[in-house]
Amino acid sequence: MAQEDIFKKLVAHCKEYGYVFQSSEIYDGLGAVYDYGQYGVELKNNIKKYWWDSMVLLHENVVGIDSAIFMHPTIWKASGHVDAFNDPLIDNKDSKKRYRADVLIEDQLAKYEEKMNKEVEKASKRFGDAFDEKQFRETNPRVLANKEKWNTLHNRFSKALNDSDLAELKQIIEDEGIVCPISGSRNWTDVRQFNLMFATEMGSTADGALKVYLRPETAQGIFVNYLNVQKTGRMKIPFGIAQIGKAFRNEIVARQFIFRMREFEQMEMQFFVRPGSELDWFEKWKETRMKWHRALGFGDENYRFHEHEKLAHYANAAVDVEYKFPFGFKEVEGIHSRTDFDLSQHEQYSGKKIRYFDPELNESYVPYVVETSIGVDRMFLQVISASYCEEQLEKDTRVVLKLPPVLAPVKLAVMPLVKKDGLPEKAREIIDELKFDFICQYDEKDSIGKRYRRQDAIGTPFCVTVDHQTAEDNTVTIRYRDTMEQERVAISELGKIIGEQISYKKLFGKLQ
């Protein structure tokens, strides 16, 4: 099945099984805003726990905070967001649709890449085991022609971005013959800058209300609390501050379900270091974060680092962790070496000293910062994309979410084989025993096969069936979601079997 079709199916699945709903759906929805349903919220909370504990529990020099969404408006002037948090937008005059100019060009680059990969795929099928991919990529004329186009476009695009040359971005779009996907025409407006921050008003004074912004990143809440945390926590450099919270961006083009939203959640960590050591820490955090992603077992080949074409105004190094979504490799997380830009700016704009006295060097300085920043919703989409599976069985197909058990919303379903003979009561007893440790579901409706399918669809890793033998010897069958294998175990063993499989500790073991 085409990847696009799979993606459509998984979006529909998220709705049908209570993971994600369009916001304000009964009013026809609100663009790029989503609500999480009964299972979605559990999965989201588990992702957040995985991230939070991996930062705060595993690193004794990382602590957390929870800062407000509203902040003093000068913060956004100091951070550069008022002047520079822009996307280059372009309109198609025929369809009246608006696009991000950089995204149109990135999509064109991806097309060249796709063409090269298709050639490789075809040749690999033709030559079988004898196929030498490296040699093929270096010599095949069609691959080389596309590589040449990719390189030329890439260089031109990087230069235009770095020079903030909007006219050149438009020229690239025209030269590449990029058409509007809706109208199919090349009738483009000029490229303009568009600020992504949402503004609102706070209170009212004689001079009028204060214009405040909904934060476009959680990071600034950490920077402006740097001194508070460093002093009250007696933190010594190097140390980090972690935060999970909502962020808001008036995205021009909101696409691909929860990939690009206008209201979303970030998990960010700012790591404060000695000036000059930031690039070493940048490398360390790159490695740590990649391990965190890979530990979930979605396949190492589905991750890659992507160097930024253009460094943000605050960074001296930046890389994205990309995951292979059904719509291609896309950013899930950014790791940035932000220099002393933010703290220095806040020093200047607030007039307060934001320094660290380093007892080993016997001097004060503005710390440098390495940031790791990941979107909860994008991570959620990564987990769902990696887990969604349609399996052909002997008689039918089953749709199953092969979620890592530690992240699954419901850990086990307990099912009486029939609705009589004391089996429902026994099933309830098991739930009463286990519900303090795991989210359990009781299900007695329909055939056992249908019940298994329902649990597969929401990703429940374990189903426990209570039958007539249970009353005799206190054993049940446990059925494993991924293999569909079943085994008979004592009820007293259930807690241990399930506990081991859903253990965060086991997952954290892979990060050490």
Applying CB under 6 A, which residues contact ligand GAP? 217, 219, 249, 251, 260-261, 264, 266, 268, 331-334, 371, 373-375, 377-378
Q: What is the rounded distance in angstroms from the CA atom of residue 31 to the CA atom of residue 27?
A: 11
Nearest residue (CB) to ligand GAP, 331 versus 429 = 331
Q: Which residue has the tokens 């949402």?
A: 198
CA distances from 25 to 14, 30, 39, 258, 458 (A): 14, 8, 18, 15, 22
CB of 369 to ligand GAP, least distance (A): 10
Nearest residue (CB) to ligand GAP, 266 versus 441 = 266
Nearest residue (CB) to ligand GAP, 251 versus 433 = 251
CB of 331 to ligand GAP, least distance (A): 5
Sheet of strand 475-480: strand arrangement: 440-442, 412-416, 462-466, 475-480, 486-490
Nearest residue (CB) to ligand GAP, 246 versus 496 = 246
Question: What are 95's strand-pairing partners?
Answer: none
Three-class secondary structure of residue 255 per DSSP: coil
CA distances from 500 to 37, 134, 405 (A): 27, 43, 10
Nearest residue (CB) to ligand GAP, 90 versus 261 = 261
Contact between 356 and 230 under an 8 Å Cβ cutoff? The reply is yes
Nearest to 478 by CA among 392, 414, 432: 414
CB of 196 to ligand GAP, least distance (A): 9
Three-class secondary structure of residue 113 per DSSP: helix
Instruction: Compute the residue count for the chain.
Output: 512
Q: What is the rounded distance in angstroms from the CA atom of residue 34 to the CA atom of residue 21?
A: 6
CB of 347 to ligand GAP, least distance (A): 19
CA distances from 442 to 93, 295, 333, 431, 500 (A): 56, 31, 37, 8, 22
For ligand GAP, the nearest residue by Cβ is 375
Nearest to 374 by CA among 439, 289, 433: 289
Nearest residue (CB) to ligand GAP, 375 versus 459 = 375
Nearest to 343 by CA among 79, 85, 106: 79
Nearest residue (CB) to ligand GAP, 268 versus 309 = 268
Q: Which residues in 123-132 are b (16+ Cβ under 10 Å) and which e?
A: beeeeeeeee
Nearest residue (CB) to ligand GAP, 122 versus 255 = 255
CB of 375 to ligand GAP, least distance (A): 3
Task: Name residues whose C-beta falls within 8 Å of residue 434's C-beta, 6 or more positions apart in sequence.
Answer: 412, 440, 494, 495, 498
CB of 101 to ligand GAP, least distance (A): 17
CB of 14 to ligand GAP, least distance (A): 15
Nearest residue (CB) to ligand GAP, 293 versus 479 = 293
CB of 310 to ligand GAP, least distance (A): 12
